[in-house]
Amino acid sequence: MPADRKTSTRRPGFTLVELMVTVLIVMIVTLALGAVLAQNQIGWNAAYAGVNSEVASAGAVAARKFDAIVRNASATGGDIDVNGLWIELNYYSDDAALQPDCYARLYTSGDELKVEYGTLDPRLALATQTVCANVSACRFQQLGGSAQMTLTLDDGTRTSTTTTSAVPHNE
């Protein structure tokens, strides 16, 4: 074997510097992904809490109640306050009634949305029901042949505004 032949002392693999640079790059990418995932989780939690909050569900219940009352109402009769503070709708007590003989009046009292049911002749309030609480604003208006309610609920931590409209279905 000739003596002038050089043998390589380099072994296959990575140097310590290459390994440390690779670990540093992986750590930076991992931290960036972790920050993005954490922000997404915070946003998702806020959206979930908003949709499933007490005021959002109370607003949905009030919208369904308003829709049911308006859809059951007679297309004739009824009244809306000029300032939109209340709405009164006439309806038939049963299928045998020849004309509307009952009413439902939606209004706010304090921070509650209420509905009062009664008879038209004689004018007599029979029952009052609280639809929801935490009402900060409520307006009723007539748009063409439909009635609209814009309801804002605020429980101190969340605010939810619900707008709904419906058309009376009874002649």
Tens digit of each residue's pLDDT (9 = 90 or more) over 53-93: 788 889 999 999 999 999 988 887 788 999 999 999 999 88
Report in angstroms the alpha-carbon separations of 84 from 81, 87, 91, 167: 5, 7, 20, 17
Choose among 62, 78, 70, 67: nearest CA to 129.
62
Query: Would you tell me how many other CB atoms lie within 10 Å of the CB of residue 65?
Result: 19
Confidence band of 14 (pLDDT split at 50, 70, 90): confident
Sequence ranges of the domains in the chain? 17-52, 54-166
Burial of 71 (0-12, 13-18, 19+ CB in 10 A): middle
Distances 111 to 115, 159, 164 between C-alpha atoms, Å: 13, 13, 19
pLDDT of residue 35: 92
Query: Concatenated DSSP letters for 54-88?
Result: HHHHHHHHHHHHHHHHHHHSBSSS-EE-TTSSEEE
3-class secondary structure per residue, 103-126: EEEEEEECCEEEEEEEECCCCEEE
**pLDDT tens digit sequence for 111-123:** 999 999 999 988 9
Residues 108-164: tens digit of each pLDDT:
999 999 999 999 988 999 999 999 999 999 999 998 888 999 999 998 888 889 999
Give the strand pairing for 86-91 and 79-80: antiparallel
State the Cα–Cα distance between residues 99 and 18, nearest whole angstrom: 90
* Predicted TM-score of the model (pTM): 0.70
